[in-house]
Amino acid sequence: MTASPPAVSYTYPGARRPERRRSVDSDGIGIAVYEWGDATATPLLLAHGGFDFAGTFDVFAPLLADAGYRVVSWDHRGHGDSDHAPLYSWHADLRDALAVLNSVTSAPIPMVGHSKGGAVLMQLCEARPHRVMRYVNIDGMPSRFRAPDVADHERSRMRDEEIASWLDRRLRSGELSRKPGDPDDLARRRGRMNPRLSFEWLRYLVEIGARQDPDGWRWKLDPIMRFGGFGPWRPDWYLGRLPGFPVPLLGILATVQEEMGWGTRKGDLEKHLPVAAELVEYEDAGHFVHIEHPHGVAELVADFLA
């Protein structure tokens, strides 16, 4: 069933909630899907990053909708209003993305992804190139991180410890809970990870991405989630396949490095790029390029897709 998302009491200049909301079943997991723009316009698939949710596009997505697209985004499993799940992996997210795409159209459409969502959609482009017209990746392009200079037996031990830690966390998932606070607390907490984003914007996100429990407000993100918790996947694995990327590609790169950023530079990618690819380094922009500079990035995207 299609419905309008609830209004928010805390507003932000330029933010516009999606016109439509619905749910898509992805192998038993309910995925919350949102749409901005004319329902009869050309669809555009838009994927958010890790620890985010579709509402983080509330300024950026309307700009693409106003450029003539039916913008379709969704909360990844375990994020926002989508179901929590017993399994989190890149391939599970890929299946969810395909389920959303299938709910929209069987024809090829343009796609845009940020960070983790950018990497997931790159895999979707490879797996279903006939479903994609053009693709824009916002600071989620792969890079080659230098491997730690340790002996093989030490590297094996580190890997075993990481797997054991991950399994232990999964076993304790029923006991985990995110720390409660008031809306201002949650905004300040997120601000420690995203210091370039204004408090006003982060406070707006609390209205959409958090819930009010009896003991306080909590982000809706599944408490099992942690950095590196979407694996197994590493950005450098993708570089070897990048020259054969099957659709026209625009990569938009941040120039200011942040904790949640991927650290990818133009020089890391140039020798790996396919012919039908462009790279843009956006000056004075951190990992959330599209939030810091929504109008400029939307113009870049619209020009490329056109």
Domains of the chain, residue spans: 20-147+227-305, 152-219
Q: What is the pLDDT of residue 239?
A: 84
> What number is the average pLDDT over the span 54-70?
98
> What number is the average pLDDT over the span 228-249?
78
> What number is the average pLDDT over the span 279-298?
97
User: Architecture of 20-147+227-305 per CATH?
Assistant: 3-Layer(aba) Sandwich (3.40)
Query: Tens digit of pLDDT for each residue in 150-182?
Result: 455 555 665 666 666 656 656 665 666 788 999
Query: Tens digit of pLDDT for each residue in 66-110?
Result: 999 999 999 999 999 999 998 788 899 999 999 999 999 999 999
pLDDT for 149 beyond 60: no
Other Cβ atoms less than 10 A from the Cβ of 245: the count is: 21
Rounded CA separation 209/220 (Å): 6
Mean pLDDT, the chain, rounded, equals 89
Q: Give the number of C-alpha atoms closer than 13 A to the C-alpha of residue 255, restricted to the C-beta side.
A: 9
pLDDT for 210 beyond 60: yes
Type of residue at 123 = Q
How does 88-121 read in b/e, with b if 16+ C-beta sit within 10 Å?
A: beeebbbbbbebbbebbeeeebbbbbbbbbbbbb
Cα-Cα-Cα-Cα torsion 214, 21, 219, 77, nearest 10 degrees, comes to 120
